[in-house]
Amino acid sequence: MDDGESLSEAFWGVARRLRHLNRQTMAPWDVTPGMWRALNALVDNGPIRLGDLAEKLHIAPRSTTEVVDDLQQRGLVERHPDPADRRAILVGLTEAGHAAATAIQEARTAEAARFFGALSPSDRDDLSRILHGLARD
């Protein structure tokens, strides 16, 4: 670490690099990180109401509507009436959405392996332990 560079600055520098790599990795699918988070939430939870998706993403319902609109325009999600409440709408992945989510996850996993592959196995283990320890608060 350079003299005068704080741990925080180094951490955010790595985070910026990872964010940039993630954007590049998702570019072939024309998906932003926010859209990816929504796709991933739908993979994990199945069809859910927009309000529930907003809670899972920790964003405003209006923002969730915009993300879902963008995903729907790309054919990755679809809206259906909730069978339990005809006034409510469920959002779920299309077949193309499932395929894209799987492909994006595989691409992100490969990119992370390349990125962290610059570290020795021991350093990766140490970094994992440290980051997981910091995330526990």
Distance between CA atoms of 125 and 27, rounded to whole angstroms? 30
Domain count, the chain: 1
Q: Which domain CATH number covers 73?
A: 1.10.10.10
pLDDT digits (tens, 9 = 90+) for 9-49: 999 999 999 999 999 999 999 999 999 999 999 999 999 99
pLDDT tens-digit series, residues 69-123: 999 999 999 999 999 888 889 999 999 999 999 999 999 999 999 999 999 999 9
- Report yes or no on 72 lying in a domain: yes
